[in-house]
Amino acid sequence: MLSQFNQFLLNFSLLITSLLFAFLPLRHVKLISPASPVKLRILIGFIAGFISVLLVLNSITYDGAKIDLRLVALVTAYYYGGWVSGGITTLSILGARFAVTPPGAYEGLILTGLICIALLITASIYRRFASHTLKDYLVLIGIGIGYSLPALYLLTETFNRFLEIALVYIIFILLGGYVTYSFLQELRKHFQFVQTQQELALTDGLTNLANRRKLDETLASYDKYGFAFSVLIVDIDFFKSVNDTYGHDGGDVVLRQLSHLLEHCCPDQALVGRYGGEEFVVLLPDTPLKDAVRLGETIRLACADQHFVFSTYPAFHVTLSIGAASSDQGETSFEVIQKADQSLYQAKQTGRNKVVAYSEE
């Protein structure tokens, strides 16, 4: 019994280690389910199939039976990827089982195929009446055990031999299933936490727009890969008077409302960020300067027409001065930002509430 325990422990360690390294590439995927894109479910199938092959190749042999935790990999594949993932995993299991089967002794291979297919069919029926919880995952594991025990009995030479391994098999399959589910859930929570912290580090706390660090990183990537872009630097006119009249809370409301306006007006590929204070930056990849100026005018007019509301004060208006420049006007993104800033200064000096494009003249 101790020898069996040790062998199962090695199989169990292999399962958990494989899961950790195999699912690392998927750490940025927010949700994996049978409704995920087909390409993702195919990838899940190949990952679970690879793990299954490792488990089968390191299985414990008892008479004609080979015992391992492949059932956990199959249930996991189906649970997260449906028939697509489960089917690929099944084929991987059968391929590995065939590779370790002596010529002419194909009873175990046939029973393995029947168990996998029966489990997938039963799981498909069960899923219609179940939710996506630990209980349902363990029920599928239990169904798989129920299908596996008769096959195990047929492949062992004596009933005592069957009992010798069945108890350990049941305990380790259930334990393996529970730990696998919990491990994957905790791993996903950890990845989501890390991703959230990374996003917060690149997000302005007041407006939820990109912050200075995110903008600088994006500009650095433009330099690195030679991307063409245009930039708008947007500044609120007389923002100090807004703070003086409505207080800093009123000023914060204006900044938040303006951030919503910028996101609404800008195309999806644009990156809108707060550069500091009342200054915003809009990065427009693959956008000519004339189109950037046109967008700047749209933003300026939309802001001038918007009613800003704070507390019990009457609705009020603010205007914007905007400077524009494009990447063909500077050798680096830093130079482009400088030129857009010069254009913004010109807009401020010549009356405000206008868009000025940088010109060499």
- Among all residues, which ones are annotated catalytic? 278
Q: In what order do the strands lie in the sheet with 229-236?
A: 271-276, 279-285, 229-236, 320-326, 355-357
Nearest CA-CA partner of 135 in 72, 186, 177, 176: 177
Closest among 357, 335, 338 to 346, alpha carbons compared: 357
Cβ count near 53 (within 10 Å):
20
Bridge-based pairing state of the strands 355-357 and 320-326: parallel
* Contact present, 60 and 99 (Cβ < 8 Å): no
Query: Which of 55, 61, 51, 69 is CA-nearest to residue 4?
Result: 61
State how far Cα 136 lies from the chain centre.
24
What phi, psi does 139 have (nearest 5°)?
A: -60, -40
Tell me how far apart the alpha carbons of residues 31 and 29 are, in angstroms, rounded to a whole number. 6
64/116 Cα distance (integer angstroms): 18
For residues 244 and 266, what is the distance between their CA atoms, to the nearest angstrom? 30
The backbone torsions φ and ψ at residue 8, rounded to the nearest 5 degrees and listed phi first, read -65, -35
Which of 133, 21, 40 is CA-nearest to residue 85? 40
Helix (H, G, I), strand (E, B) or coil at 108: helix
> CA-to-CA distance for 243 and 318, rounded, in angstroms?
12
Q: The tokens 């305990």 sit on which residue?
A: 171
